[in-house]
Amino acid sequence: MRDAYHDELDAISAALVEMTNMVGSAMARATTALLSADLQLAESVIAADDEVDQVYRDTEQRAFDVMARQQPVASDLRILVTSLRMVADLERMGDLALHVAKVARRRYPANAVPQELRPTVLRMGHVAEEIATKAGRVLSERSVPLAEQLERDDDEMDELHRELFSVMLEDDWEGGVECAVDIALVGRYYERFADHAVSVARRVVYLVTGERPVPATS
Amino acid sequence: MRDAYHDELDAISAALVEMTNMVGSAMARATTALLSADLQLAESVIAADDEVDQVYRDTEQRAFDVMARQQPVASDLRILVTSLRMVADLERMGDLALHVAKVARRRYPANAVPQELRPTVLRMGHVAEEIATKAGRVLSERSVPLAEQLERDDDEMDELHRELFSVMLEDDWEGGVECAVDIALVGRYYERFADHAVSVARRVVYLVTGERPVPATS
């Protein structure tokens, strides 16, 4: 019984890592769809979020079942409760990729991102993909140094986010109101995506060190 | 021992209800600060979020302690795990009120909301306050019908959110880009605030009926 139990914990852990791959890939494809006004790609990102939601529900159910059946002791209980919160962060990251894809779809056949902001949005997409991948490694390797590195990626995301706004608020901005609104929301989606990755990493650090994570406020 | 244990569960439940009051009040005051360009009020909302965070941390710690010490059985475990997720929703609602207040502060002494959007933003503030109050009642009374009513408030919030965008994207919009960006973000803060209240209500329904909540995607 004890072995089946640890198999369950391993399966939950593997599902979390799988979700980091799914949402990282979703955000990468959403960024491409956004920058190239690719409707088909946007639709595929939107449709694929159902799979993320399915893994979310399955993993949540599995964690609840293990808790109910096995009455885990303190350390395993902490892992399970923390997993439930990480799976919620990851599910939300999937939603945020979906939102970026929806902006691409809404503006199609126009391109939602004006030329001058393309490098910034492209970089935000890359940082988002990298941060999701690192969150996966933090999860699988339980690496505190890597979690710290991920925080620096989040700082870069915040900087890119500020950059978007400063460009839009310059006097010579020609993108118009609709475009500015889209970019403001898109910027927020990337920023929140990174925040949730940070949250996952901090929860892993908590499991490893016992240090309580501080919620990100942005 | 059994009594002290149930006192702990009651204290957690009371803290959740208290948090709905805190965040509902914070969003109400943030709305007033925003609509009247009241810097002092905005600052007080921003400062008060520390208290919400403190209740969040205390409640989380209390739930962890109870789980670790008491090895609760299935139904109590479900309540505790669900409480941990509700307290995170409520903490986030506090953040979103803080974000609205920060927009008021950033635009001071200007008013962030143009005249034509004042009724919509005012109504969003009222719906947010009502939905937080109802979430508190859903929590304290474990009322499924009230949770359903709260979903309808969320529908109204979504409708108000769409209204904001349609006004900003009309040809005769004179608010400019900076204002549109602020309003787009503010609209998103109210909408997410309501989503988290819905999430709290759905988790209560889950505790009462055993029906698993579906995560809100917006």
In angstroms, what separates the C-alpha of A177 from chain B's closest C-alpha? 5
Contact A215 B88 (CB under 8 A): yes
Contact B169 A178 (CB under 8 A): yes
* pLDDT tens track for A109-164: 999 999 999 999 999 999 999 999 999 999 999 999 999 999 999 999 999 999 99
Contact A81 B64 (CB under 8 A): yes
User: Does residue A83 lie within any of the structural domains?
Assistant: yes
* pLDDT tens track for A82-100: 999 999 999 999 999 999 9
Contact B177 A178 (CB under 8 A): no
User: Does residue A167 lie within any of the structural domains?
Assistant: yes
Helix axes B176-209, B118-141, angle to 10 degrees: 20
Is A30 in contact with A46 (CB distance < 8 Å)?
no
Contact A67 B77 (CB under 8 A): yes
Which of A98, A175, A184 comes nearest B185 by C-beta?
A: A184
> What is the three-state SS of A40-103?
HHHHHHHHHHHHHHHHHHHHHHHHHHHHHHHCCCHHHHHHHHHHHHHHHHHHHHHHHHHHHHHH
Query: What's the CATH number where B91 sits?
Result: 1.20.58.220
Half-sphere exposure of A190 (CA within 13 A, CB side): 32
Contacts of B74 in chain A (CB under 8 A): 67-68
Helices (H) and strands (E) in chain B, counts: 6, 0
Is B97 in contact with B201 (CB distance < 8 Å)?
no
Which of A165, A177, A184 comes nearest B173 by C-beta?
A: A177
The verdict on B1 touching A (C-beta cutoff 8 Å) is no
The verdict on B79 touching A (C-beta cutoff 8 Å) is no
Contact B81 A74 (CB under 8 A): no
Closest CA to B163 of B216, B117, B127: B117
The pair of three-digit structure tokens given for residue B100, joined into one six-digit string? 């609205």
Stretch A40-55: mean pLDDT: 97
Calpha distance A177→A183 (Å, rounded): 10
Calpha distance A30→A51 (Å, rounded): 16
Which of A81, A91, A173 comes nearest B177 by C-beta?
A: A173
Question: In whole angstroms, how far apart are CA B25 and each of B22, B31, B109, B140?
Answer: 5, 10, 23, 18
Which of B73, B81, B169 comes nearest A81 by C-beta?
A: B81
Inter-chain CB pairs, A–B, below 8 Å: 87
What is the ipTM, given to two decimal places? 0.89
Contact B77 A98 (CB under 8 A): no
* pLDDT tens track for B71-128: 787 788 889 989 999 999 999 999 999 999 999 999 999 999 999 999 999 999 999 9
The verdict on B123 touching A (C-beta cutoff 8 Å) is no
Q: Pick the residue from chain B with its C-alpha nearest to A181.
A: B181
Contacts of B71 in chain A (CB under 8 A): 71, 73
Contact B181 A188 (CB under 8 A): no
Cβ density class B53-63: b for 16+ within 10 Å, e for less: bebbeebbebb
The verdict on B200 touching A (C-beta cutoff 8 Å) is no
Question: Mean pLDDT score of chain A, rounded to an integer?
Answer: 93
A167 phi and psi angles, rounded to 5 deg: -65, -45
Contacts of B67 in chain A (CB under 8 A): 74, 77, 81
Calpha distance B183→B186 (Å, rounded): 5
User: Does residue A53 lie within any of the structural domains?
Assistant: yes
Percentage of residues in chain A having pLDDT higher than 90: 81
* pLDDT tens track for A2-35: 578 889 999 999 999 999 999 999 999 999 999 9
Contact partners, residue B126, CB within 8 Å, separation at least 6: B31
Answer whether residue A1 shows pLDDT above 60: no
**What pLDDT, on a 0 to 100 scale, did the predictor assign at position B64?**
85
Low-confidence residues of chain B: pLDDT under 70:
1-2, 213-218
A125 sits in the region (left: phi over 0; alpha: psi -120 to 50; else beta) called: alpha
Answer whether residue A217 shows pLDDT above 80: no
The pair of three-digit structure tokens given for residue B83, joined into one six-digit string? 């409480």
User: Does residue A214 lie within any of the structural domains?
Assistant: no
Residue with tokens 């492209």: A122
Window 85-114 of A, Cβ < 8 Å to B: 85, 88, 91-92, 95, 98
User: Does residue A217 lie within any of the structural domains?
Assistant: no
CB atoms within 10 A of CB B199: 23
**What pLDDT, on a 0 to 100 scale, did the predictor assign at position B211?**
73
Contact B215 A71 (CB under 8 A): no
Structural domain count of chain A: 1
Residue from A77, A99, A170, A199 to probe the interface with B (highest B Cβ count within 10 Å) = A77
Is B183 in contact with B164 (CB distance < 8 Å)?
yes
User: Does residue A64 lie within any of the structural domains?
Assistant: yes
Is B58 in contact with B16 (CB distance < 8 Å)?
no
Residue with tokens 């790609």: A41
Is B38 in contact with B44 (CB distance < 8 Å)?
no
In angstroms, what separates the C-alpha of B144 from chain A's closest C-alpha? 22
Containing structural domain, residue A132: 2-209
Residue with tokens 């008013």: B111
**What pLDDT, on a 0 to 100 scale, did the predictor assign at position B73?**
79
User: Does residue B214 lie within any of the structural domains?
Assistant: no
**What pLDDT, on a 0 to 100 scale, did the predictor assign at position B214?**
63
Is A102 in contact with A9 (CB distance < 8 Å)?
no
Calpha distance A72→A2 (Å, rounded): 11
The pair of three-digit structure tokens given for residue A211, joined into one six-digit string? 């240090």
**What pLDDT, on a 0 to 100 scale, did the predictor assign at position B2?**
57
User: Does residue B44 lie within any of the structural domains?
Assistant: yes
Burial class, A80, CB count within 10 angstroms (exposed 0-12 / middle 13-18 / buried 19+) = buried
